[in-house]
A and B are shown apart, each in its own frame.
Chain A
Amino acid sequence: MTSLVVPGQPLGPASAYIPGTGVHIFNNQVIASLVGQVVTVPPASSSSSSSTTSTSTNPTISVVKPALTPEEEATSATLLPDVSSIVLCRITRINARQATASIFVVNDRVVGDEFQGVIRVQDVRLTEIDKVKIFTSFRPGDIVRAKVISLGDQSNYYLSTASNELGVIMANSESGDQMYPINWKEMKSARTGAVEERKVAKPF
């Protein structure tokens, strides 16, 4: 039922479809740019039956490369962080101006190679940004949920944790045992009861 296509194969006129992922438009034709199966998704709102000529009623066409296993589906070797992607990263270095992090998950998918990102001090939280101190927000080894705000310079993606849902999600205390969040800026060790400061992500 779903046909297999190769790059360069025409899928239909550009006027009849909205191009999705894995396709491009050339000579007013939707052309596949991946090897995979053609997936056509009808327009989301079926209520607009009156305006059939509008472009919003066109189905979205995309080419999807199927994955063999769930593990393979969870990883993607060709995935790159993009602006507004939600990433998981591990803090590697900190200094007064920024925290450097290694990105290993982009949009819930494990990447092939880890990317380097930085969280600058002004991007740590939304309010009172001039009072933020990196040392009371992150520590090396923390796992942080962050958002990509820029592709950055040649080596670093710029990340931000300026949102309630963003920040440290896993951290170990100075003595090395795991901590749980107690409020938006503190985490407590499960074993020793020691409290440390972090920019904590709001649990879902």
Chain B
Amino acid sequence: MRQVYLDHSATSAVDPRVIEVMMPFFDVRYGNASSLHTMGQEANRALEDARKTVAQKLHCTPEEIIFTSGGTESNNAAFKGAAFTRLRKGKKGHIITSTIEHDCVLNTCQWLESLGFSVTYLPVDNYGLVSPESLEDAITGDTILVSIMHANNEIGTIQDIRELAHIAHERDVLFHTDAVQSVTKVPVDVQEIGVDLLSVSSHKIHGPKGVGCLYVKKGTTVDPLLHGGGHEKGFRSGTENIPGIVGFSEALAIGEEERPREMPRIERLRDELIDGVSIIENSWLNGHPKRRLPINAHFCFRFIEGESLVLRLSGKGIYASTGSACSSKSLKPSHVLLAIGLPPEDAHSSLRLTLGRDNTEGDIQYTLKVLPEVVTDLRKISPFKASFQE
């Protein structure tokens, strides 16, 4: 059976070129970058070379890159770091984010609220866009941090981070963005968009899992999450994951080099998918028609449930995911889909297809053959055929 992986926003295959550069660091060049001897110094050189590469791709200086365990840690470090800095001065503060952030941001915010911080969750419009005016209105004299994600992980909507960061900076407030989904898909230049903090994950860009980075603009004070041996200039203690970091930097370098030709190719495949799906009755595309990740297509198929759709597709070798968290740990419909104004019964019927480097024209043709059949089969089982009133 044909296997079609369409879940690249969940994770992606490690590129063979990335695996190749990582391998020596497991069993040959395995030194600890803090060791004084030759093997340690060799590891340290690899670490600093990787840092240079990452900095170059994100358009900052190496000193501004802190390697972490990935997106969740980077986001936690940004929020808690800013909050801890404030707490150290004996004060609480106000944080602004949006209603469509990743759970690692929303749950961090809720925890900070339990410590006495206040959080404003900015609403989004039907496309998933935050309005600059709403940000402007939400900032108070007590605001310590604004964080708005660059591209949404479910519906793929891309925010105008440059404009939002500018508004925060006019009021002398730090600005963070979660760029986990956008890096290598669209240009991410920290100077051009003017952010103070930015999170990146390796496994979303054909790099290994368990590694990523936080960009911290020079002069920005955020306290560390992890205290210990003073690694990463004291911001992130713990022996550096050299194979992971080397792999991450290679994945980022490849992703950035290939972006100008690879993303237009993927975008064409994605558009073909959207066009093909749009002929299915009682279905629609979620997110913004233009301002969206080139890899992302996100649909609702009324009268069926997303988890069933994903599992039936999986039985046909097509690997996708649902916005409806029914598939995983919670049964609540996606907070993102509710935030863009979908009623819960429709939010349960969502399907996310995210493309990547390995997808071909044949994959799309196969998906466009199988998906309508699966939708028809599940609608046959459903008590609802044309409305929820039956």
Task: Judge: A and B partners, yes or no.
Answer: no
